[in-house]
Amino acid sequence: MQEFVDRWAAFWSSPDPARVDELGAPGIVLRYPGLPEPLRGIEAWRERVAAIVGRFPDVRLAVTAYAMVDDLCFVSWRGTATVAGQSIAWEGIDRMRLYGGLVVESLVAFDTAGLRPAAPDGVSPAGRG
């Protein structure tokens, strides 16, 4: 578990769409707040991370706690980014089902309100603002 959490933390300390396959399985399914349907497949997640980093170039997530139960890994985190010229922080949690050390299913939860000023067209880390 520690090895996976370390990889997750390293990824989100400097997120790069080219590196999503270091964490996610090819058939990954992700559920983000604000998106009406899950993202399916590593390329969909790569595009999502690219959109997030494109909108919030300084976005970072830092692990605040984690736990593992069977094949489920729970990571609570603190996010930071610049939104509308102001530094903001928010907290969230990812619940991830792992197989072979990679995420096959992820449920991301956080309050999207603080990110809405930067997402007039619906592109935020959450989905639709």
Which three-class secondary structure state does DSSP give residue 63? Answer: strand
Q: Please, which residues have CB within 8 angstroms of residue 10's CB and are 6 or more apart in sequence?
A: none
pLDDT for res 128: 40
pTM summary value: 0.87
> Tens digit of pLDDT for each residue in 62-96?
999 999 999 999 999 999 999 888 899 999 999 99
Average pLDDT of the chain to the nearest whole number: 91
Angstrom distance (rounded) from CA 32 to CA 81: 18
Question: Could you tell me the fold of the domain covering 2-118?
Answer: Nuclear Transport Factor 2; Chain: A, (3.10.450)
Instruction: Produce one character per residue of 32-60: b if its CB has 16 or more CB atoms within 10 Å, e if not.
Output: bbbeeeebeebebbbebbeebbebbeebe
